[in-house]
Amino acid sequence: MRIATKGGEASGKPLAYVIIGDGYTEVRILEAVGDKLNHSEVLLYVRWGISIGLSAALDTLAKLFSLDKRVSKYLLIIDREHVKSVDDVINGLLARGFTISGEERCYAEACHIFTVEKGGRRGAVVVSIQGKERRIEENIAELIRMRYNENVSSDKKSITEWCKRKGLSIKEVVGHSNYELLEKAFPELIKALNTLRHAQV
């Protein structure tokens, strides 16, 4: 599975658009996880503006849904600190003119798939909420604990300093881990990717 950027190379029709509600850490992790999946699909990543959070991510979703009719699947990755409950996602979709005709929980409360309709079009939106309490750095810290047997605080600064000491990037930390470890450290993300692949629209 390959991650391409909008405006960059993307041969053929992408499987889905990826929308990330915060920073580029998730992009690097997604690239490394994608390399572990033996699939040929392309996920197209796009970000407009500098706003972060659920509202900005849903605005991007609404724009893509209207502008690009080739793609009918969307993966929204967002930190838990931006989503109090799945109702925030539901209300945000409805506020942007989407009709929700189906909803299914894919992994606990942290991964949901919505079947949506808007403007005569139908699509699938997979929402993957990262972090046990606040953000994806908690997942990274858990991976470091399992893979390297070292405890790191689950904040960006501590993880960055640990990576510098080891001469590794976050993408390399993920890339050097096997699929079974990634399933344990990033269950919400792995489940979301598998759900996305098999979603019927």
The CATH number of the domain holding residue 60 is 3.40.980
DSSP string, 128-191: EEE-SSS-THHHHHHHHHHHH-----SSHHHHHHHHHHHT--HHHHHHTS-HHHHHHHSHHHHH
If one counts every other C-beta atom within 10 angstroms of the C-beta of residue 24, the result is 11
Reported as a pLDDT band with limits 50, 70 and 90, residue 27 is confident
Question: Could you give the percent of the chain with pLDDT greater than 90?
Answer: 61
Provide the pLDDT for residue 6: 62
Residue 107 lies in a domain: yes
Residue 173 lies in a domain: no
Residue 11 lies in a domain: yes
Residue 103 lies in a domain: yes
Provide the pLDDT for residue 40: 78
Question: 65 versus 201: which is more confidently predicted?
Answer: 65
Residue 154 lies in a domain: no
Q: Report in angstroms the alpha-carbon separations of 94 from 58, 85, 97, 99.
A: 10, 15, 5, 6
Domain span holding position 57: 2-130+182-198
Is the distance from CB of 14 to CB of 42 less than 8 angstroms? yes
Give the whole-angstrom CA distance, residue 109 versus residue 103: 12
Residue 114 lies in a domain: yes
Mean pLDDT of the chain: 88
- In the chain, the N- to C-terminal Cα span, in Å, equals 20
What residues contact residue 30 under an 8 Å CB cut-off, 6+ apart?
Answer: 3, 18, 43, 45, 77, 189
Reported as a pLDDT band with limits 50, 70 and 90, residue 51 is low
Provide the pLDDT for residue 11: 52
For the chain, the domain total comes to 1
- Three-class DSSP category at 54: helix
Residue 146 lies in a domain: no
Closest CA to 16 of 32, 28, 34, 29: 34
Q: What angle do CA 141, 80, 192 make, to 5 degrees?
A: 85
Residue 23 lies in a domain: yes
Provide the pLDDT for residue 106: 85
The string of pLDDT tens digits covering residues 108-118 is 788 999 999 99
- The pTM for the full model equals 0.90
